[in-house]
Amino acid sequence: MAAAPILQRRLGLFQSTVLNMIDMVGIGPFVTLPIVMGLMGGMFLYAWIAGALLSLVDAMIWSELGAAYPLAGGSYNFLKEAYGKNGMGRLMSFLYVWQTVIQAPLVAASAAIGFSQYLGYLIHLQDWQAKAVSGAVIIFITFLLYRKIDSIGKIGVLLWTGVLLTLGWIIIGGIAHGNFLQPLKNINTDFSWGQLVSFVFGQACVKTVYSYLGYYNVCHLGGEIKDPGKNIPRSMFISVIGIAVLYLAMNMSVGSVIPWQEIKYWQDNGLNNFVVSTFLERLYGPTAAKVGTIMILWVALASLFAVMLGYSRVPYAAAVDGAFFKVFGKLHPTKNFPYVSLLVLAALAFIFSLSFKMKHIIDGILAMRIMVQFIGQAAGVVLLRKRNGTENLPFKMPLYPLPVVLAIAMWLFIFYATGFTIILSFLLVFGSGLVVYFLMAKIKKQWPFVS
């Protein structure tokens, strides 16, 4: 009898970091850059710095957990271990997977919608055409992912090359223009401590944090990473620091050519959704702007590729563990990847890409993750350290417990800034997850209905 297919550890530090970075640098920074400038004015760099700091602090938590539990599914395993495999951990991990089945397709849909939005610079698209493009992008990426992990690592490196070339061109363009440092010099022109703790700053941070999300993608692929105790933390820190430098440089480049006042005017009046394309057009002309837009579209595809790859492992891991619907636990008989999980997430992403607008999706993505996943994990680290100690940890976060306290405080601020409507949407998803879990637990006689 042939052995059942299993996930294989084939991804090293380089490929892991590549998949993290292309997940982070999707369409997000190109779409959110003008929004943040419109909200913050000359202080827009503060929002990007805040997003980087939150990501770096949170990466410490992910690194400790990911190195200790390097399995497919990431947060599913972390929450289960922290809150008890046979106790509340069942509920927490189920809620995470339940929300993932909603928010992961939202992330994918945001990349697809952003793709169609920037395509509008090259081709005028009516509303139905833009939706058709978004749906087609989801289908295309699903086709690329329908293969062995060895091939996926190679495709990821190819896509990552396009990401670096795109950001590099934008940054070099700003430096060559001669006013690259101007946005940094003007950062305190209208400085206000009140604005830094305001709801508006929170909304700006929601957009920048969205653009940094993905630094933990390597944890979802934990069962396929070589030497995970070292490579998982290294991959995350390299990704966060590297992308933070690129984002700040890109914002400074664009702000040195197009004044933030002009971009704010466009945002307030809905006049220009292609700020980076306009930036390239002013520097090099229409032809170069078209080439640059094509490269931005490449970046969007690369990010969507990494997002779908990582999140498809989450329902799979839970199903294999007997904590989610069994059908999600199937691996492809010859290619050894969770094809049912991938296809279900792709189908939902396809539907969401036809149904929602970008501004609603960004806030929704964060709200769905914060309470159970990010804050749940931060508290989970404390529980695990008290229960198991730290002697056997492959990676220990520095300055513990300060990163945990900071992460929880910052995530609560971001959650508040998503707004009442989005918080209500989260509560509906959370509530429905509770109902489904307790029904399943009652039938299976699991916690809290243990006989």
Give the DSSP letter string of 393-449. -S---TTTTHHHHHHHHHHHHHHHHT-HHHHHHHHHHHHHHHHHHHHHHHHHT-TTS
Q: Comparing 8 with 106, which gets the higher pLDDT?
A: 106
User: What is 13-444's CATH superfamily?
Assistant: Amino acid/polyamine transporter I (1.20.1740.10)
| Residue 151: CB atoms within 10 Å | 12
- What's the pLDDT score for residue 155? 79
**Quick check: 202 and 27 in contact, CB under 8 A?**
no
Exposed e or buried b per residue across 231-269, where buried means at least 16 C-beta atoms within 10 angstroms of its C-beta: bbbbbbebbbebbbebbbbbbbbbbbbbebeebbebbee
Mean pLDDT of 245-255: 95
Percent of the chain residues past pLDDT 70, beyond the cut: 98
3-state secondary structure of 228: helix
Q: Map out the domains of the chain as residue ranges.
A: 13-444
Mean pLDDT (the chain) is 91
Percent of the chain residues past pLDDT 90, beyond the cut: 67
Integer Cα distance of 58 and 242 in angstroms: 16
Integer Cα distance of 189 and 76 in angstroms: 45
**Quick check: 246 and 29 in contact, CB under 8 A?**
no
- What's the pLDDT score for residue 1? 45
3-state secondary structure of 114: helix
- What's the pLDDT score for residue 147? 80
Structure tokens at 154: 């190679």
What are the contacts of 326-333 at 24+ separation with CB within 8 A?
A: 331/4, 331/5, 331/6, 331/7, 332/5, 333/5
Mean pLDDT of 377-396: 96
Q: Report the sign of the C-alpha dihedral through residues 334, 340, 341, 344, in that order.
A: positive
